[in-house]
Structure 1
Amino acid sequence: MSAAARPGIVELHARSLELAAEVVDAVRPERLDLPTPCAGWTLRRLLAHVVGQQQGFAAAARGAGPDLALWADAPIGEGLPGEDPAGAFRRTAVELTAAFREAAAADRRVWLPELLTTAPIPLDRAVGFHLLDTLVHAWDVAAALGTGAGVGAAVEREEALIAALVAVAEAVPDTPEARAPGRAFGPGLPPGEGEAAGVGAGRFERVLAMLGRDPAWPGPGSGPGQG
């Protein structure tokens, strides 16, 4: 059985969605206009992106080709994620988990057009990318709500999950092209900036710093990351 068909990363991804859903459960409609660590994005904009990405990855796992339209942000309103952000997140998370499990059983390669890939990639890589997105965006949501530290602590309590997260984060290129404006992550914060750069902190905080997010956001001098 190939690496793509092994269930480990798929089930770790399912766990990441469970942790993220617990965070999104705390979002109420009156809080959707709060700022987030993603530059210029409110919680409403961030959740529209997250739900849209879950729909896009599910379509890819079911065999969709390189159609960027499938990755569009979810429309605001119509229950996605306007008045029921938690419901929209959980519904699309269930659909995505099922799609990844089906793809793993079929040993299917998937298209990820947002990454500008020119051919389908192994499923385990795609699942890893979305695991990273899920946990980082869970922190973005929690940070906007003032509870960011709880996400890192929850992930670090699960050794297999934090190990998978670190492995994927370390594989993200930190080049001007990969970290340009509009890409998923900003330039990594340089070492030597103390706790603000995740130095001396836990592995989750170091992942945030690697991906251009200040673990101390919204503290003094905190800068926004990418979306």
Structure 2
Amino acid sequence: MAFPDFRAADATAVRNSVQLLDGPLDLTLPTPCAGWTLSDLLSHMTIQHLGFAAAARGEPWPLSQWTPRPLSSDPFAEYAAASEEVIAAFAAVEALDAPMPLPEISPTPIPTWRGIGAHTIDYVVHGWDVARTLGAPFTLPEDLLAEVLPIAESVPDGPNRDREGTAFAHALPIPAPATTLDRILLLLGRRP
């Protein structure tokens, strides 16, 4: 059975976020993520890359390690290195149906293809968060957005989105017409 392979889309979305962050950064800027500054978002994104990379390699990464920590003296270099680490870890995956332990997402391992898909949609949205924070344009290829739209459509919208620290706010109404990016963002509680 063939499983969806989101690795190319993930690498594109992640590298796009790196390009957005390359330059002088005001880490105190507020982001579209409620209550988070750019520093908070960058710390979260860095730790997510490291956690997903460890999971893809089958290494233990307990829930306690998913907590964002203070950034280093060179947060961009730290983020760029973590980005390449997760891309390389995903590229080395041999079985997309192998179990992937992601305690931050699920108490039981999920199929690796699904974990990579979750990471991909997160970096489409977080890339947009960064662009919005910096007042920069945000573009990803339309075919990539179309590939990941079903992931956004599959994220349950219910009481789980009310919990503290949840990844996404409640879905918002989607006007007609709406771009693919706008649909993704609205489904995941962002206001394009």
**What TM-score, normalized by structure 2, do the two folds share?**
0.90
Letter in 1 for 2:6: I
Counterpart Cα distance in 2 of 1:174 and 1:107: 25
CA contact (8 A) 1:61 1:108 kept: no
- The whole-number CA distance in structure 2 between the counterparts of 1:106 and 1:39 is 33
Match of 1:42 among 21, 37, 42: 37
Q: Does 1:90 align with 2:80?
A: yes
Q: Hey, what does 1:20 align to over in structure 2? A: 17
- The answer to whether 1:68 aligns with 2:75 is no
Unaligned runs of 5+ residues in structure 2 are none
In the TM superposition, residue 179 of structure 1 has moved relative to its aligned partner by 4.2
1:58 is matched with: 53
- Cα distance in 1 for partners of 2:130, 2:45 equals 10
Q: Is the 8 A contact 1:180 1:186 kept in 2?
A: no
What is the distance in 2 between the residues matched to 1:140 and 1:119? Answer: 29
1:108 positional shift? 3.2
In structure 1, the partner of 2:109 is: 120
Report the TM-score when normalising by structure 1. 0.77
Contact 1:35/1:43 (<8 A) preserved:
yes
| 1:87-136 Cα deviation digits (max 9, x unpaired) | 22211111111111222358632111111x23211111000000011111
**What code does the residue aligned with 2:130 have?**
V
Instruction: Tell me if the contact between 1:56 and 1:72 (Cα under 8 Å) persists in the aligned partners.
Output: no
1:9 equivalent among 6, 16, 27 = 6
Structure 1: gaps spanning 5 or more residues: 216-227
Q: 2:48 touches 2:66 (CA, 8 Å); kept in 1?
A: yes
Matched letter for residue 204 of structure 1: L
Distance 1:52 1:66, change over 3 A: closer
In the alignment, is the contact (CA less than 8 A) between 1:57 and 1:96 conserved in 2?
yes
The structural deviation recorded for 1:206 is 1.4
Task: From the CA coordinates, give the structure whose radius of gyration is larger.
Answer: 1
2:151 is matched by which residue type in structure 1?
V
Instruction: Give secondary structure in 2 for the equivalent of 1:113.
Output: coil
Find the counterpart in structure 1 of residue 91 from structure 2.
101
1:186 to 143, 161, 169: 169
CA distance in 1 between partners of 2:84 and 2:182 (Å): 28
For the Cα contact (< 8 Å) 2:121–2:152, is it kept in 1? yes
Q: Is the 8 A contact 1:32 1:42 kept in 2?
A: yes
Structure 1 residue 132 corresponds to structure 2 residue 133: no
CA distance in 1, matches of 2:165, 2:66: 15
Q: How many residues align?
A: 192
8 Å contact kept, 1:59–1:70: no
- Of the three residues 144, 148, 153, the one matched with 1:165 is 148
